[in-house]
Amino acid sequence: MKRRDALKGIGLTTLGLAGLSPQIKAAEVLDPVADLAPVAEPDKKKEPWEPYGRTEGELERDAKLFKEQFFNKHELKTIGVLVDIIIPKDAHSGSATEAGVPAFIEFMAKDQPNLQTPLRGGLVWIDAQAKRRFEKTFIDSTPAQQLEIVEDIAYTERKKNGMSQGVAFFSLLRNLTASGFWTSQMGIADLGYQGNVPNKWDGVPDEVLKQYGL
Amino acid sequence: MPDVYFQPAAKTYDAIIIGSGAGGGMAAHELTKAGAKVLLLEAGQHYDPADPKYITQLKWPWQSPRRGASTRYRPFGDFDAAYGGWDIEGEPYTTKNGTQFRWFRSRMLGGRTNHWGRISLRFGPDDFKRRSIDGLGADWPIGYEDVAPFYDETDRMLGVFGTNEGLRNDPDGIFLPAPKPRLHEHLIKKANKNLGITTIPSRLSILTKKINDERGECFYCQQCSRACVAYADFSSSSCLVKPAGKTGNLDVIYFAMAREILTDPKTGLCTGVSYIDARTLEEVSVRGNIVILAASACESARLLLNSKSARFPEGLANSSGVVGKYLHDSTGASRSAVLPMLFDRKRYNEDGVGGMHVYSPWWLDNKKLDFPRGYHIEYWGGMGMPAYGFGWGIEKMNGMFPDRNGAKREAGGYGAALKDDYRRFYGAYIGMAGRGEAVAREDNYCEIDPEKVDKFGIPVLRFHYKWSDHERLQAKHMHETFDRIIMEMGGIPLSDKPGPDSDYGLNAPGEIIHEVGTIRMGNDPKTSALNRWQQAHDVKNLFVVDGAPFPSQGDKNCTWTILALSMRASRYIVEQRNAGKL
């Protein structure tokens, strides 16, 4: 159900707005929200970012961050390959790059500068591994070669000599990828999160209570 | 209500209120209703959660380029309705002797009430008389019976849901219907019943039923921390200042950073306030017959300490020397866990209200324990809206559980199997936090830093704060309790039980944002700054209505008591004024 329909369906009374003198105003307020809901992934061409209740200081800072570019093309491509290895397309939803994860990581690196060195350094580390093993950069390596390196850094409890920094980098990238993917429109639909919509809470559904013996 | 009221400084107001949070908002509401001409000074900007330019409610994480991650400007996340934080540009504070204190400030109409947890607990009879019970700290000059009628009125005026349970030190109230528990809350209740830990519906100032025509009803989006377009949760700006503005008796000046309370050198009475306009950095004076401090416990103490004159060399209303002392925040410790029984849960909308639907009030007797004062437990969990940090740290967890087919998994990983882990674990996490009473001590204090000023040229605060074993042992007990609850539920804690090297996981002082006590009330002018009506012993037309007057604060969050006491003090001001005594 679309959000606008959801709003119509339950009516303003259950929204808590009935009889409210600023009712019309509040309805207007809710409607644009409904319209915003189906927007696609952040579109870089449509700057500045759709406003979402920012203070002046925040608008200024975000505008500045959007103008900056932290990762170069090669780095972003490498990030793209890695995040799609971490979260690939499957039967339920698309891949991390399809959900806009590289752009999100680019933004986070500017927003939280403490991420910059671990991410940039990690990308150089992984290229160095690829060059040593295959005499190519990571992205120029074959998918099988890429996975050979990933296998060595993806499992935190495997103790493989000289790989611990790579493991730490991959864990950071895994976590950022998960944050970016599951907070995207695609990720939230996949996860099945049902909320963020006006409703009336009436407790846990009966069949669920039954399932847990409650 | 226009964004900016400005009034020529020539006018003398009946009262000037400094700060628009819970205490200041209630005073503005009560005094304007009684016909007084009131000026409200707010250090920050205008804010109205129903005005589209401020709205963050019902936004999706992808509408934030940082997906709701926190920033210096919004430490509780990009959608949170608090402008300010721990670290405000140009407004520093310092600490002394290697001690620690963290100070959260909101620079906006309504102050910190815009994002708070809405946990609205009355103090119980014991909470006003702790010294008589355990010999520590100070008794209040008033008791529960003095505050009860104002709690009742606050309940009716602002709305709070809950249930009457007949618990002696967790008094019943006038409650709206409480929401039913979420799934994890049912499971917590069941486990706690076996453990003998009282667990009852929470008490939050959220309208599960309409109470008047100005405010709507909760529509269960779980986002009270973003403030509500329907005004269905309590915030001072929406529920107190706004109606006060409608009386026509209120002027508000924004960006007014109070610097000093002005006094008449002959009478020693307040005559007004001097403030710095935060945009122009110009100093402005306004005049009033009564000055009411509601700038927050530490900011109000700072103002008094910075209001030095020949007549008040130690700062205004500070002949006792207690101003700034007895600063105390609630204790806090928390733990989270994963419940394997909730893997692969059925999806449904479990948002509910903005906060927990059940909590555990203090259930034990300190006489049988090695620490004084109790704590309550707050819980979280459920299928919430993903935000920045979702799935973070999965490599520490997914190796613990075999997959659906019973095959062993390795920690970390990538690809389709990892992707499926996030789905599988969604909604299977729970967490709990203890919020307890710290003992107020003279040597936990804020004072004026002898060297530093902020960008307004106002001398800043310097904090000196240390936890004692009272608080440490309480935190230790919290974690022992968390372990028992998690174990009883069949959960797996996501971190080890903290030990003495980390003060048993105690949050740093200030982090719970319940700091109170810095201008305490009492019957003896030698050991307190305010009388039982929150009126300065030294200056009869000066009142303090934020958390500063609290001699102690129970394990109950302080806001509901700030509101009830501000109402009580405001009624006293009106009575005294009408009787010609002010």
Q: How far apart are CA B448 and CA B211, in angstroms?
A: 44
Check pLDDT > 60 for residue A33: no
Give the contacts of B49 (CB within 8 A, at least 6 positions apart).
B55, B57, B81, B114, B226, B227, B228, B229, B231, B235, B237, B238
pLDDT digits (tens, 9 = 90+) for A179-202: 999 999 999 999 999 999 999 999
CA pair distance B292, B40, nearest whole angstrom: 10
SS3 readout for B193-243: HHHCCCCEECCECECCCCCCCCCCCCCCCCCHHHCCCCCCECCHHHHHHHH
- Residue B282: how many other CB atoms lie within 10 Å: 9
Distance from CA of B49 to the nearest CA of A (A): 9
Q: Does A170 touch chain B (CB under 8 A)?
A: yes
Phi and psi at B495, nearest 5°, equal -150, 160
Q: How many other C-beta atoms lie within 10 A of the C-beta of residue B388?
A: 23
Q: Which residues contact B283 (CB under 8 A, 6 or more apart)?
A: B259, B274, B275, B276, B277
* Residues B258 and B300 sit within 8 Å (Cβ to Cβ): no
Q: For an interface test with A, which of B60, B218, B279 has the most A Cβ atoms less than 10 Å from its Cβ?
A: B60
Lowest mean pLDDT among A39-43, A163-167, B465-469: A39-43
Angle separating helix axes A143-153 and A116-134, nearest 10 degrees: 120
Is A179 at the interface with chain B, CB within 8 A?
yes
Q: Which residues of A touch B389 (CB under 8 A)?
A: 179
Mean pLDDT taken over chain A: 83
List, for residues A79-133, the tens digit of each pLDDT value: 999 999 999 999 999 999 999 999 999 999 999 999 999 999 999 999 999 999 9
- A interface test, pick of B51, B59, B62, B211 with most A CB neighbours within 10 Å: B62
User: Which residues in chain B are contacts of A185 at CB distance < 8 A?
Assistant: 60, 62
A55 contacts on B by Cβ (under 8 Å): 45, 73, 83
pLDDT at residue A51, as a whole number: 83
CA dihedral A62, A64, A68, A70 (to 10 degrees): -50
The span from the CA of B437 to the CA of B127, in Å, is: 10
One-letter amino acid identity for A117? T
Q: What confidence score (pLDDT) does residue B9 get?
A: 53
Are the Cβ atoms of B384 and A195 closer than 8 angstroms?
Answer: yes
CA distances (Å), B29 to each of B79, B299, B550, in order? 28, 21, 21
Nearest to A53 among B54, B219, B384 (CB): B54
Q: What is the pLDDT of residue A48?
A: 54
Question: Residue with structure tokens 């093309």?
Answer: A73
Q: What is the DSSP string of chain A?
A: --HHHHHHHHHHHHHT-TT-TTHHHHHHHHHHHHHHTT--S--TTSPSPPP-S--HHHHHHHHHHHH---S-HHHHHHHHHHHHHHS---SSS--TTTTTHHHHHHHHHHHSGGGHHHHHHHHHHHHHHHHHHHSS-TTTS-HHHHHHHHHHHSBTT---TT-HHHHHHHHHHHHHHHHHHHTSHHHHHHHT---SS------S-HHHHHHTT-
Q: Does B381 touch chain A (CB under 8 A)?
A: no
CA dihedral B544, B546, B550, B554 (to 10 degrees): 160
With residue B252 as reference, give the H or E element that holds it.
strand B250-253
Min Cα–Cα distance to chain A from B366, Å: 33
What does the alpha-carbon distance between residue B177 and residue B164 come to, in Å, rounded to a whole number? 10
For tokens 């009946």, name the residue.
Answer: B14
Separation in Å, CA of A178 to nearest CA in chain B: 6
Residues of A in contact with B426 (CB under 8 A): 191-192
Interface contact flag, A195 B419, Cβ < 8 Å: no
Position A49 confidence tier, pLDDT thresholds 50, 70, 90: confident
Under 8 Å CB-to-CB from B577, ≥6 apart: which residues? B14, B36, B290
Q: What's residue A45's pLDDT?
A: 52
Q: The tokens 């400084």 sit on which residue? A: B9
Token pair in block for residue B79: 């959608």
pLDDT attached to residue B352: 98
Nearest chain B Cα distance for residue A136, angstroms: 23
Q: What is the pLDDT of residue B18?
A: 98
For B58, the closest of A58, A88, A196 (CB atoms) is A196
The gap between the terminal CA atoms of chain A, to the nearest Å, is: 30
Asked if residues B305 and B318 have their Cβ atoms less than 8 Å apart, the reply is yes
Interface contact B386-A62, CB threshold 8 A: no
pLDDT at B42: 98
Ranges under pLDDT 50 in chain B: 1-6
B193, amino acid identity: K
How many inter-chain contacts (A to B, CB under 8 Å) are there? 256
Radius of gyration of the CA atoms of chain B, in A: 24
| Rounded-to-integer distance, Cα A44 and Cα A66, Å | 9
pLDDT of residue B98: 96
Omega prior to B8 cis, within 30 of 0: no
User: Where do the structural domains in chain A lie, given as residue ranges?
Assistant: 3-193
The encoded tokens of residue B450 equal 């002898």
CA distance B299 to B111: 12
Say what angle helices A101-111 and A164-182 make with each other, to 10 degrees. 110
Question: In whole angstroms, what is the distance from residue B193 CA to residue B203 CA?
Answer: 19
Is A85 within 8 Å of B414 when comparing Cβ atoms? yes
Q: How far apart are CA B137 and CA B127, in angstroms?
A: 11
Contacts of A28 in chain B (CB under 8 A): 52
pLDDT computed for residue A159 by the predictor: 82
Mutation for testing the A interface, residue in B108, B231, B414 having most A CBs under 10 Å? B414
| CA nearest to B175, candidates B159, B153, B199 | B159
Interface mutation vs chain A, best among B89, B229, B397, most A CBs within 10 Å: B229
Structure tokens at A7: 């709003």
Degrees (nearest 5) of the Cα angle B111, B113, B117? 145
Indicate yes or no: CB of A104 within 8 angstroms of CB of B393: no
* Whole-Å CA distances, B227 to A139, B6, B54, B233, B235: 46, 26, 10, 7, 8
**Three-class DSSP category at B331:** strand
Answer for the pair B453, B281: CB distance below 8 angstroms, yes or no: no
Nearest CA distance, B84 vs chain A (angstrom): 10
Asked if residue A17 has pLDDT above 90, the reply is no
At A8, the pLDDT band (50, 70, 90 cuts) reads very low
CA separation for the pair B325, B568 (Å, rounded): 24
Chain A from 61 to 90: CB within 8 A of any B CB:
61-62, 65-66, 85-88, 90
Contact yes or no for B41/B256 (Cβ under 8 A)? yes
Q: Chain A within 8 Å of B538 (Cβ-Cβ)?
A: no
Q: Do residue B232 and residue A16 have CB atoms under 8 angstroms apart?
A: yes
**CB distance from B190 to chain A under 8 Å?**
yes
The rounded distance, in Å, linking the Cα atoms of B160 and B117 is 12
The shortest C-alpha distance from A8 to chain B (Å) reads: 14
* Under 8 Å between Cβ of B551 and B520: yes
Please list every residue in chain B whose beta carbon sits closer than 8 Å to the beta carbon of residue A154: 412-414
Please give the Cα distance from B215 to B193 (Å, whole number): 37
Partner-chain contact B384 A194, CB within 8 Å? no
Identify all chain A residues contacting B59, using CB atoms and an 8 Å cutoff.
Answer: 33, 36, 52-53
Between CA B465 and CA B326 the distance in angstroms is 10
| Distance between B1 CA and the closest CA of chain A, angstroms | 12
Query: What is the SS3 assignment for B490?
Result: coil
Residue B376 · residue B202 · CB < 8 Å? no
Which residues face A155 on adjacent strands?
B412
Residue A168 contacts B, CB cutoff 8 Å: no
Quick one: closest CA in A to B415, which residue? A86
